[in-house]
Structures are given as structure tokens and as C-alpha cells.
Amino acid sequence: MTQDRKKRGRPANRTGKNQRPFNIVFEDSHLIVVDKQAGLLTVPIPDKHSRNLKELLDSYLVSQKRRAMVVHRIDRYTSGLVVFAKNAKARELLVEQFRAHTPERIYLALVRGNPGKEGTLKHYLKLVQDGFRQVVVGRDGTLAVTHFKMIEELGDVSLLEVRLDTGLKNQIRVQFGAAGHPLVGDRHYSPAEAHEVLLKRQALHSHRLSFFHPIKNRKVTFEAPLPHDMEKLVARLRRVREKSRISSD
């Protein structure tokens, strides 16, 4: 079994009225990997008619007489990589991998404060109907495990590489919030972020995704670059940090 070289998605041109809110990173006859824009639902919501990635991909695949088959999902206001299957066998084998937590799922996140150079967060979570959110509970909840490494300190904000062991709804967001380091812009789990004016969503991006190709049985790895809004915020924070350093010299 060999590992495919990393495939990097080119940023999609999403400025025009008719431009797609996703970029195709990889596609073959069995699966399609896309870089999703923040603000786009991954899958439809029952009894709602909101624009979503699955239905957009269904439209794209009409000419191939295929449909996008859901394997996993990321939050509406999280950007980055998502894989869909294009046939039942591929979906079955991909879903098995995600249920076993074997794919490598790496995110980039901007959090408040400094959580340290690296570490592991472990919490028991429970999904509640009030706000349809996860809350930290005792051991009667479901264990969530998240690892992180510091990439860069940006004043009172840290840029982190985050790796999931488990994949619960909103896991990264609720765990860092519980640890006292909420994600920048995450108004749902940290009301104080309502005052964040430089980013209109949580600073979370699905950056790298590795799994075994369901049919070719080799490891494949895909990457999506940091989106413009997060990249712009990082650049601003770097300028502020540099000014602060110069003024203190």
C-alpha cells in the first residue's frame, strides 16, 4: 500500500455571483473531495430550503449520472475539506473508516489566549436540545479527544493545528471553550465573541484529510489552504504583534 502525495486545493474564485461556494480538490469515479466555503451547510436541514453542499454537488454530478453520498460533515461556518462518495460501495467503506476514527483530520484554529505548546483535551460531551449544542457533562456523556500543537502566538490569540481522535458535533469548539480558550468568532459557544468584528464566523478550517481510498486501498492525503478571511486576520494580528514588539524595544 502506498501513500499518494498531498493534493492541495487551489482557492476557488468565489467573488462572482455565479461562482460555486466550494472548490473541487480531487475527484475520481468513486469519490469527490471539496474545500467548502464557510457559511454553506454540508447537508440539507429537514424542512428547510437552505443552500447546501450536498445538493450543489448533486447538481454538479448530474452529467455523470451520479449523486453525492454523505460520508461525514463539518459545521456550516467551518471552512475546508469534506469527502463525499459517488457510489454505495465507496460510501460504505469510507463510513466504516470514519466510524472507526481512522482518518487523520487536521484543522487550523484561532483561539483566545495561549493553551500551551501542545496538549490533549478530553471531555465528556452531551448534545442538548437547548440551542442544539454540545455541553460538557460527567462520564455519562460521550468521550471527546482532541490534540493540538501551537503553530504561532499572535498576541492574545494562538494559531493552532488541531487533530481529532473522535469526531463529535462541534467537538473542537466546545472543548476549547471549556478549556478557557474559545475560538475567535464563535458566537454560539462564546457570547463574548459577538464583539469580534474582524471575523464573522468561528476561526476553524478543515485543513488536511487523510484516509484509505475505499477502492484503490492506498492512503490519500488532501490539503486546503487557509481561507482568505482567516488568512487576513492572521496577517493583521502579526502586524499588531510586530508593532507591540517595536514599541516595547
Q: What's the confidence (pLDDT) of residue 14?
A: 44
Are residues 8 and 191 in contact, defined by beta-carbon separation less than 8 angstroms? Answer: no
Letter for the amino acid at 141? G
Q: What's the confidence (pLDDT) of residue 10?
A: 41
Q: What's the confidence (pLDDT) of residue 45?
A: 86
Q: What's the confidence (pLDDT) of residue 113?
A: 96
Q: What's the confidence (pLDDT) of residue 18?
A: 53
Single out the catalytic residue among 35, 47, 58, 75.
75
Q: What's the confidence (pLDDT) of residue 9?
A: 45
Q: What's the confidence (pLDDT) of residue 2?
A: 43
Exposure string over 67-94, b if 16+ CB within 10 A, otherwise e: bbbbbbbbbbbbbbbbbbbbeeebbebb
Q: What's the confidence (pLDDT) of residue 122?
A: 97
| Other Cβ atoms within 10 Å of 169 Cβ, number | 14
Q: How far apart are CA 12 and CA 5, in angstroms?
A: 21
Residue ranges per structural domain of the chain: 7-248
Q: How far apart are CA 231 and CA 210, in angstroms?
A: 23
User: Is 4 annotated in the active site?
Assistant: no
- Tens of pLDDT along the chain (249 residues) come to 345 545 554 443 343 445 789 999 999 999 999 999 999 999 998 877 889 999 999 999 999 999 999 999 999 999 999 999 999 999 999 999 999 999 999 999 999 999 999 999 999 999 997 767 899 998 889 999 999 999 999 999 999 999 999 989 999 999 999 999 999 999 999 999 999 999 999 999 999 999 999 999 899 999 999 999 999 999 999 999 888 777 765
Q: What's the confidence (pLDDT) of residue 173?
A: 97
Cα-atom radius of gyration of the chain, to the nearest Å? 19
* CATH code given to domain 7-248: 3.30.2350.10
